[in-house]
Amino acid sequence: MATLKDLSRHLGLSVTQVSRALNGHSDVNEQTRARVQEAAKLLKYQPNISARRLVTGRSGTVGLVVPPPVSTDGHAVFVEMISGLSASFAQQQVHFLLHVINPQEDPVAVHRRLIDSAALDGFVITDPVMNDPRIAFLRKRDVPFVVHGRLGDKNDFAYFDIDNYAVAHRLTAHLTGLGHQRIAFLNGVPGRTYVESRLRGHVAALAAAGIAHDPDLHRNGMMNRNFGLTETIRLMLPGSCRPTAIIAGNMLIALGVYDALQALGLRISADVSVVAHDDHLPGATAESLFPALTTTSAPLKESWGPMASLLVQALDGQPIETLQKMGGIAFFDRASCGRL
């Protein structure tokens, strides 16, 4: 309600000086600055962001444009993402605009409108695909953005990602270390970057152990429980050359693997070793399975804070090379693996 003019009148200072005092500029007496800040608190001064953004050209608002989640699996990720981002941006004093589009709508057009009306000055991009039109557009318009994930080799933008190569490498090496040779890998849908990175890490770890990669043991699919179940059953068909260990791309797949092995009467660890990567989505924890599941661990919920920081730094004009961050992964050796 109170404006700069009110403050300046109240303090006997110019509007200019009040503004500079509050914004931490150097040419203002420390004593005056204190007075100004006190008065601001007293009069409950809140800067009018419309006025500010009009002159600075920046809105103090970032946005996320997404289609609504489809499956119930998607719900958990959606909730975590939305609430994580919103809370993180709030902490950084940045407003978070959410625009849920219907799936037919063109996301680029929405981004364009949002930019042209000067409503937003930065974006979060999730679920990037190869040659993503959103990324191309934002780059062309020179609008800051941060991507959750990466694309192939050329990543000349701010991103946060986990080291998916390392994930698969670590899991595979753990199994080869126990003497396993025939290791199945239930990976995600082909084309997604993290799926390809994991495949590379997997193959590299096999090679390091002197094992040739058998394409038949590598399966792609939607990362849900059903995929884990059906593929495990197919892998274990009598007559086929069974794997002695299975890597599950996430916890849902792992649940399906457990279901299938149990149904087939195979003992986990004793007969078949199982490992998985754990995003820490609600619903399935590695410790609560029986036997407790050995995993690499990289909680998805820990990405949103860094994502927000990166975007804010990008808004502040920091060079992109300093804004590429990888989340760490941990490894928990539990009870689901046996030595061969």
Partner DNA sequence: GCATATTTCCGAAACGTTTCGGATGCCGCC
Partner DNA sequence: GGCGGCATCCGAAACGTTTCGGAAATATGC
Cα separations in angstroms, 222 against 188, 192, 195, 219 = 6, 11, 11, 10
Q: Which is nearer to DNA, 23 or 91 (CB)?
A: 23
Q: Is the CB of residue 168 less than 8 Å from the CB of residue 185?
A: yes
Binding flag, residue 288, its own copies (CB under 8 A): no
Q: How far apart are CA 297 and CA 284, in angstroms?
A: 13
E strand or H helix at 183, and its extent?
strand 183-187
E strand or H helix at 65, and its extent?
strand 61-66
**Residue 79 interacts with which of DNA, its own copies, none, CB < 5 to 8 Å by class:** its own copies
Report, in Å, the least distance between residue 314 CB and DNA.
Answer: 18
Contact pattern from residue 108 through residue 137 relative to its own copies, giving x for each residue in contact according to CB under 8 A and a dash for the rest:
-----x--xxxx------------------
121 is written with which tokens? 């000055």
Binding flag, residue 44, its own copies (CB under 8 A): yes
Contact pattern from residue 207 through residue 236 relative to DNA, giving x for each residue in contact according to CB under 7 A and a dash for the rest:
------------------------------
From the DSSP assignment, how many helices (H) and strands (E) are in the chain?
A: 12, 12
Binding to DNA in span 1-20, by CB under 7 A: 3-5, 12-17, 19-20
Q: Which residues lie across from 173 on neighbouring strands?
A: none
Contact pattern from residue 38 through residue 77 relative to DNA, giving x for each residue in contact according to CB under 7 A and a dash for the rest:
-------x-xx--xx-xxx---------------------
Q: How far apart are CA 242 and CA 182, in angstroms?
A: 8
Query: Which residues of the shown chain bind its own copies in the complex (CB under 8 A)?
Result: 1, 44, 46-51, 53-54, 59, 61, 68-69, 72, 75-76, 78-79, 82-83, 86-87, 90, 95-102, 113, 116-119, 282-283
